[in-house]
Amino acid sequence: MEANGMEPNPEREYIRRHHKHELVENQCSSTLVKHIKAPVHIVWSLVRRFDQPQKYKPFISRCVVKGNMEIGTVREVDVKSGLPATRSTERLELLDDNEHILSIRIVGGDHRLKNYSSIISLHPETIEGGRIGTLVIESFVVDVPEGNTKDETCYFVEALIKCNLKSLADISERLAIQDRTESMNRV
């Protein structure tokens, strides 16, 4: 129990610790949470690939990295048709393999996501049946484009992130089933 008499909330604590964004006027921010039925190492194997976001992000068709996968490395991503953009230039801000945290900043592109920054963190959790799963938390901050409201901007970005997180869950859970099946076949 916490001092306020409530049960501790690990989600809230992870967000407080890892998802700090400095908001300025005319920006919006949000935090999304996804529970995935796969262990952290499987989910992280997809998320940490700054050089291959298309492995789970359905709106990215291609990625070219300039650098050695260090902080400051830049990637050029091509966006699939149907979105109001064709390319985005993104910089790696943080890649922590111990804490399972990835942060990126958009530094260019032909879209309206100016001063966009996101943090995604992964945390082990126990899911139904006592199996190990992953709590994924993704937060962002972005400028509100002229002619749009904060609500419209947040809704648009949240919709993209929700699609990415659903795809991440689907692929990770499929990999986890394959992993368990292969483990049983080796026995």
Q: State the pTM of this model.
A: 0.88
| Range of lowest pLDDT (11-20, 34-43, 144-153, 161-170) | 11-20
CA 28-80-137 angle, 5° bins: 40
Q: How many CA atoms lie within 13 A of 161 on its CB side?
A: 23
Q: What integer pLDDT is reported at residue 1 of this predicted model? A: 42
- Residue that has been written with the tokens 């992993």 in this structure: 179
% the chain with pLDDT above 70: 91
Q: What integer pLDDT is reported at residue 186 of this predicted model? A: 56
Q: Which domains does the chain have, with CATH numbers?
A: 28-185 (3.30.530.20)
Q: Per residue in 153-179, pLDDT tens?
A: 999 999 999 999 999 999 999 999 987
pLDDT at 187 over 60: no
Stretch 85-96: mean pLDDT, rounded? 93
pLDDT at 124 over 80: yes
